[in-house]
Structure 1
Amino acid sequence: MAELLTFNKKNRERIQAVENTFGHTRKSLLSPDRILVGEGRLLKLCRRGPKPKVFFLFNDILVYGSIMVPGRWNNKKQTIPLDEVEVEDMQDETTMSNQWLIRTPRKSFYVAAASADEKQAWMEHIEQYKALLQQHKGRTDRNARRSYAATLIPDMASAICMRCSDRFTVANRRHHCRMCGYIVCGSCSKDRALLLNISSSPVRVCRHCVVYLQGQDDRETRYKKQRRVKRKNWKKSSVEDTTTQPEYESSSEEEEDRGYQVPSKWFTGVQQENHSEYCHLKSERMMPPLRVL
């Protein structure tokens, strides 16, 4: 009991220290069941090239931000629910080594560690605590259907529009399609579309994706019409039937959800057993090695 109280105190101090590096933010990182699992500095591939970022892994969220003063001041805090994160191993490239892909519904991006061991540690810890969190909530990846955001291709990857092949100039600027992630010119990305997993307001999409979305809308419209006709016919045929089935039945996915419910006691027990496994993932390193083209 004394050991657990000591851990809870130290864990709270660690989380408060992370909170202090970001200054005053709207939402506090402190939460009764939240545990800081590890922290470190990774290279994040941004639109304008790789940049060092500070990452903090908790048992329920992943937090990262820009490094202003190493170890003291961070900026632009980004918080991602851990059960929405999907990691994918990637091969080394000329721009970054020891890299992997982090997918989320709102944003997807590449990150790189200083070594292969650090990369493996990050990926394993993310997968481990994501699995524990999903079991605690009573669901698994098998019944989680999500639309992940496309990874934006860095500006330096292309000097021409990936749709019309026009060369970029001072007047003809680079833009990104938020649906496919391609680098496109203004002429090829005049349209906007509502992608709810990315934003609540319309975002820039290229002309190729507009055609695809229009086709999807047409198929959805036809499907809704067919459903209305079937429902109308079904109501007519069941007027005199007193043992009619309900109009909407529970799906197999909902039944699967109930089958995967796991008592929260198991998740709490795992936390208590692993309360000494906080790992500081070599955050003293400023950034992973970057290969120059």
Structure 2
Amino acid sequence: MVDRLANSEANSKRIGLVESCFGAAGQPLAIPGRVLIGEGVLTKLCRKKPKARQFFLFNDILVYGNIVIQKKKYNKQHIIPLEGVTIDTVPDDGELRNGWLIKTPTKSFAVYAATATEKSEWMNHIGKCVRELLQKSGKSPTGEHAAVWVPDSEATVCMRCKKVKFTPVSRRHHCRKCGYVVCGPCSEKKFLLPSQSSKPVRVCEHCYGMLSGSLGRQSESMSRSGANFNNTLSDDDDDDDSSD
């Protein structure tokens, strides 16, 4: 069915409408073989609070953005290649129901549908698209994913030292490796996580210790084999704790 729709006029028009809703700031989405499978509003669990986002599922990518005017205008377009996606169901928790995790090497987050049926349909369609892409490419499923950030509201004190209480002065930070909400003193270190950034990013003391130990063992092993290994930590501040 997807192959039949790929070159259809109806599919081209649908993709064209999505592009027009994102305007000039959005990336072009129409390429040969791409099919728009479905779309809808999902609640994305962001750092500050859950927020409504418009999602579009294509046969090879997942696109989402902020809703400016429903069905007319969206901004802050995000494009996620489906080959690197893994999905896992999330248990219902109070008002947060019908959720699942979208995990990728660069970013992972939870989304929630309005009904259990909608959740099932989204997960089934995403899973099918991922399986078909991997089958065509012959690649294996991605084994490593970025951590899902713990929402700010779930941590009143540092999740590592358990001592520092968060205030307007004592800010919350997120470890890019484990996703924990941590205080400044517990997250002074940075480490290069190539799948997430081209420069070192903030990590907590616990994760820095594990990463440094692993790096040291890898460096020693490569040194024995005659290979050169260089790791440079940047002094640039990468505290990009955005609300989304």
Which category of TM-score, normalised to the shorter sequence, fits these structures? 0.7 to 0.9
- 1:197 maps to 195
C-alpha spacing 1:127/1:154, structure 2 compared with 1 (3 Å): same
Of the three residues 147, 159, 182, the one matched with 1:162 is 159
Question: Does the CA contact (< 8 Å) of 1:131 and 1:140 recur in 2?
Answer: no
Pairwise mapping of residues 58-137 of structure 1 onto structure 2 (< 5 A)? 58-137=58-137
After TM superposition, give the deviation of residue 7 of structure 1 in Å: 6.7
Say if 2:144 is the partner of 1:150: no
Computed over aligned residues only, the root mean square deviation of the Cα atoms, in angstroms, reads 1.7
In structure 2, list runs of 5 or more residues that go unmatched.
228-244
After TM superposition, give the deviation of residue 218 of structure 1 in Å: 1.6
After TM superposition, give the deviation of residue 95 of structure 1 in Å: 4.2
> Whose relative contact order is higher, 1 or 2, with alpha carbons under 8 Å and at least 6 apart?
1
Range 112-121 or range 4-13, more displaced = 4-13
After TM superposition, give the deviation of residue 170 of structure 1 in Å: 1.4
TM-score by length of 2: 0.87
Q: Percent of aligned positions with the same letter in both sequences?
A: 45
> Which structure shows the higher helix fraction?
1
After TM superposition, give the deviation of residue 90 of structure 1 in Å: 1.5
Question: Does the CA contact (< 8 Å) of 2:6 and 2:32 recur in 1?
Answer: no
Range 132-141 or range 201-210, more displaced = 132-141
Paired residue type of 1:196: P
SS in 1 for 2:25: coil
C-alpha spacing 1:59/1:185, structure 2 compared with 1 (3 Å): same
Paired residue type of 2:187: S
- Deviation string, structure 1 residues 108-133 (Cα, Å, up to 9, x no partner): 00001011110000000001111111
Of the three residues 188, 208, 216, the one matched with 1:210 is 208
Paired residue type of 1:49: K
Aligned pairs, number: 223
The 4+ residue runs of structure 1 with deviation greater than 4 A are: 4-7
TM-score by length of 1: 0.73
Paired residue type of 1:222: E
Paired residue type of 1:157: E
SS in 2 for 1:33: coil
Pairwise mapping of residues 231-242 of structure 1 onto structure 2 (< 5 A)? none
Distance 1:110 1:26 in 2: 23
Distance 2:18 2:7 in 1: 17
- Deviation string, structure 1 residues 180-200 (Cα, Å, up to 9, x no partner): 100011111111111001111
Distance 1:47 1:126 in 2: 24
Distance 1:9 1:51 in 2: 33
After TM superposition, give the deviation of residue 6 of structure 1 in Å: 10
- Deviation string, structure 1 residues 149-173 (Cα, Å, up to 9, x no partner): 0000000001001112210111101
After TM superposition, give the deviation of residue 26 of structure 1 in Å: 5.7
